[in-house]
């Protein structure tokens, strides 16, 4: 079997031997002899329906290629399918593979058509998805812009509220500062008026009212939050100030402010010229000096007590640099009494409890060192004419003696016979009569003043028999 081509239409034919043959495609007559083909009669070329369909699908494939071209970059598979369908149904390709493979034309057309449709559908689906993606992306961008605008608006509103809040706080702080300044100015004015008659040597403190005013005004806003290491309580204290000197147990001098009077405590006097030195005063002063001399301290003010006392001294609580609450320490160790001037103060209950514990433990001035009242008369005896020896107690209850003039000691005078006063009333002198026997306060006073019966005045206040049953006044 030999395959030859029609010289007219190039149709492939299978022949066995030499001879004359007719082409089924173009109806031409040709001769095959000695392996040569010669045309005897040319026929008319007819287009088969299958070729028309093939060309039609080939054209459609070309169109599909142009349609899918923009999508080929995004969808490589769709583009490959369209190109493959076009190649399969191209007449030259078709003739090639139909000669090489025993596949009929209709099967090739069906396969190429399916591939073509698959490519087109895939491309359209991709195009649709790309549109949906573009729409979704546009929606997301729009939502993002809307969210940004909303956030900007909310941030602007928040910033405006914060600004209004800061403005309100500034106004409140200004009003508070102004109120404190006015209150301080009133205290200073009062201190100035009092200090006109206040002796400068009292408590060995020279009070600079103007300096105290300026320093207090300066420190109004110079405070900071400090946590108490013992109670974990947050307190508002001043910056660290230097202790210039310790006047006594409850009065010190610090840098910038000058003289301080400690709130809530009172120590025995040692430097007031108007009063004698009191029991445990020197010990209290020495204790204060040991804790504060050369140290730095922070101050806490108390709005219930004001900033200045009537002498222009700053009122404050004192804390050492290591956190010791000095006011409370002096009470706990028995070096000071709890002291309320006029109105309750912040730590009043705490200080009262500390004093109660010190009393129970007999600490410091609550112990044996101050058991008695110094100078209290224990006994009296006549030692000379109009002179007596008086025995008095010390703070620790030991005694000392001193001689004093006494008109009741006339029995020691040169005249051995006592002078009997002329009777000027219905009463008579009788020092042996007790207050329980004397009938009236007038008689009792007569016995004391005229007769010199000192035993009628046990408390030495100049009033005879002022206890029961007469209760003279």
Q: How many CA atoms does the CB half-sphere of 243 hold within 13 Å? A: 23
Position 255 pLDDT exceeds 80: yes
pLDDT digits (tens, 9 = 90+) for 15-47: 877 888 888 777 788 888 877 888 888 776 554
Say which residue, 322 or 60, is predicted with more confidence: 322
> For 202-370, which CATH class?
mainly beta
Say which residue, 302 or 185, is predicted with more confidence: 302
- Contact (Cβ atoms closer than 8 angstroms) between residue 61 and residue 55: no
Position 150 pLDDT exceeds 80: yes
Q: Which of 261, 298, 307, 456 is catalytic?
A: 261
DSSP 8-state secondary structure symbol assigned to residue 325: B
Confidence of residue 436 (pLDDT cuts 50, 70, 90): confident
**Phi, psi at residue 28, to the nearest 5°?**
-85, 155
Say which residue, 458 or 442, is predicted with more confidence: 442
pLDDT digits (tens, 9 = 90+) for 374-428: 667 777 888 788 788 887 766 667 676 788 887 778 776 765 444 455 555 577 7
| Burial tier of 381 (Cβ tally within 10 Å: 0-12, 13-18, 19+) | exposed
pLDDT of 291: 94
pLDDT of 67: 55
Confidence of residue 303 (pLDDT cuts 50, 70, 90): confident
Q: Active site includes 261?
A: yes
pLDDT digits (tens, 9 = 90+) for 217-232: 666 667 778 877 777 7
Position 57 pLDDT exceeds 90: no
CA torsion through residues 233, 235, 239, 244, sign = negative
pLDDT of 374: 62
The mean per-residue pLDDT over the stretch 277-305 comes to 90
DSSP 8-state secondary structure symbol assigned to residue 273: T
pTM, 2 dp: 0.43
User: Cα angle at 260 between 215 and 350, to 5 degrees?
Assistant: 120
User: Cα angle at 224 between 221 and 226, to 5 degrees?
Assistant: 155
Q: Which of 300, 313, 332, 456 is catalytic?
A: 313
Q: Active site includes 269?
A: yes
pLDDT of 327: 96
The average confidence (pLDDT) of the chain is 76
Position 99 pLDDT exceeds 90: no
Confidence of residue 354 (pLDDT cuts 50, 70, 90): very high
Alpha-carbon gap, residue 243 to 226, rounded angstroms:
20
pLDDT of 72: 47
Alpha-carbon gap, residue 209 to 144, rounded angstroms:
67
Alpha-carbon gap, residue 146 to 455, rounded angstroms:
105
Nearest to 195 by CA among 72, 309, 365, 39: 309
Lowest mean pLDDT among 118-127, 222-231, 426-435: 118-127
Domain chopping of the chain, boundaries? 2-41, 50-139, 202-370, 371-413, 430-473
Q: Active site includes 153?
A: no
């Amino acid at each position: 079997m030999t395959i030859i081509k029609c010289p007219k239409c190039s149709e492939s034919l299978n022949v066995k031997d030499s001879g004359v043959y007719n082409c089924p495609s173009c109806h031409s007559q040709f001769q095959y002899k000695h392996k040569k083909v010669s045309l005897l009669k040319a026929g008319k070329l007819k287009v088969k329906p299958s070729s028309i369909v093939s060309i039609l699908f080939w054209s459609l494939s070309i169109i599909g290629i142009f349609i899918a071209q923009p999508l080929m970059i995004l969808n490589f598979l769709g583009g490959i399918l369209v190109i493959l369908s076009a190649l399969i149904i191209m007449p030259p390709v078709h003739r090639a593979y139909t000669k090489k493979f025993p596949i009929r034309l209709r099967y090739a057309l069906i396969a190429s058509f399916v591939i073509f449709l698959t490519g087109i559908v895939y491309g359209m689906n991709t195009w649709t998805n790309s549109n949906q993606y573009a729409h979704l992306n546009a929606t997301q961008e729009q939502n993002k812009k809307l969210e940004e605008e909303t956030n900007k608006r909310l941030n602007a509103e928040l910033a405006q509220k914060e600004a209004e809040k800061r403005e309100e706080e500034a106004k409140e702080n200004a009003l508070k500062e102004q109120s404190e300044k006015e209150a301080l100015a009133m205290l200073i004015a009062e201190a100035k008026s009092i200090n006109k008659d206040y002796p400068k040597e009292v408590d060995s403190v020279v009070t600079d009212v103007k300096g105290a005013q300026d320093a207090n005004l300066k420190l109004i806003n110079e405070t900071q939050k400090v946590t108490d290491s013992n109670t974990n309580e947050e307190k508002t204290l001043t910056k660290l100030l230097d202790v210039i000197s310790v006047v006594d147990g409850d009065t010190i001098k610090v840098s910038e402010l000058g003289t301080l009077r400690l709130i809530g405590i009172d120590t025995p006097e040692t430097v007031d010229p108007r009063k004698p030195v009191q029991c445990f005063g020197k010990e209290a002063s020495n204790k204060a000096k040991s804790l504060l001399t050369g140290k730095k301290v922070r101050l806490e003010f108390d709005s219930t007590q004001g900033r200045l006392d009537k002498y222009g001294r700053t009122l404050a609580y004192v804390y050492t640099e290591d956190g010791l609450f000095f006011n409370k320490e002096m009470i706990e160790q028995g070096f000071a009494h709890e002291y309320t001037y006029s109105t309750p103060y912040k730590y009043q209950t705490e200080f009262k409890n500390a004093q109660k514990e010190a009393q129970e433990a007999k600490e410091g001035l609550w112990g044996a060192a101050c058991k008695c009242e110094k100078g209290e008369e224990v006994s009296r005896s006549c030692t000379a004419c109009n002179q007596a020896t008086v025995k008095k107690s010390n703070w620790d209850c030991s005694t000392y003696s001193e001689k004093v003039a006494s008109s009741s000691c006339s029995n020691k005078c040169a005249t051995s016979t006592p002078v009997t006063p002329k009777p000027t009333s219905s009463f008579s002198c009788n020092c042996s009569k007790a207050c329980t026997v004397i009938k009236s306060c007038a008689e009792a006073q007569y016995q004391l003043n005229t007769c010199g019966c000192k035993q009628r005045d046990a408390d030495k206040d100049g009033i005879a028999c002022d206890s029961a049953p007469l209760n003279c006044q």
